[in-house]
Amino acid sequence: MAMFRLQSNKVLAVDMTGDAVKAKNGSMVAYDGEMAFKKLSGGGEGIRGMVTRRLTGEQMTLMEVKGRGTCWFADRASEINLVGLQGDKLYVESSNLLATDGGLRTGTEFTGLRGASQGNGLFTTSVEGHGQAAIMSDGPAVVLRVSPQYPLTVDPGAYVAHQGNLRQSFQSGVTFRTLLGEGGGEAFQMRFEGDGLVYVQPSERNTIAGDV
């Protein structure tokens, strides 16, 4: 299995001994040894992944890197965070996924009709299996614990990823104070209940459900 390590907080190094990894297309910045690169079509595996991406207009092009040596990855000086998976599933915005172990399965998951309020489409990317994934954030990511006693509400523009036994829903954040310009300004919020982790970034991306 390939070994993921952070060369710095903005550069991912992957040591390979004949292994393969999947990474965001164009994210390779350097490598040593012998490497082969192959572009992968679609944002997820199988026809469903390709069709759902086309329907929502999302673009997530991956490449497969296989060989012996070390390959370094980075994307727009984003902060990189390593996530270990032990047979569980990680849900991550497609724009925030940098690389995964080649053995991890990637696909698409339906987020509900109100997922369009995020401006990120109706589907999100899933990563499942045993291995490591590298996700990106605009600024150092904060990992927040969700427990049955303490559900979590997240600004859709700050959401990066989540894992664990979590139920995700969307709720309206529009209030009288919001309409007067005194509230937070988010028309929709993401709510997580259950037991798991949510990754958020300290910088908001633009969303349809932004300022009212």
Q: Residue 103: exposed, middle, or buried by beta-carbon count in 10 A (0-12, 13-18, 19+)?
A: middle
Q: Per residue in 115-125, pLDDT tens?
A: 444 444 456 88
Cβ 50 vs Cβ 41: under 8 Å: yes
Give the model's pLDDT for residue 177: 47
Write the DSSP string, 76-111: TT-EEEEEEEEEEEEEE-GGGEEEEETTSEEEEEE-
Give the model's pLDDT for residue 156: 84
- At CA 87, angle to CA 62 and CA 31, rounded to 5? 35
What domains, with CATH codes, occur in the chain?
A: 3-200 (3.60.160.10)
Look up tokens 């390779």; give the residue.
Answer: 28
Give the model's pLDDT for residue 187: 63
Q: What is the pTM of this model?
A: 0.81
Give the model's pLDDT for residue 56: 44
208: helix, strand or coil: coil
Look up tokens 């369009």; give the residue.
Answer: 116
Give the model's pLDDT for residue 50: 46
Q: Per residue in 135-177, pLDDT tens?
A: 999 999 999 999 999 999 998 889 999 999 999 887 775 544 4
CA 133, 134, 136, 140 torsion-angle sign: positive
Give the model's pLDDT for residue 94: 85
Which stretches of the chain score pLDDT less than 50?
A: 43-44, 46-57, 113-121, 175-177, 207-212
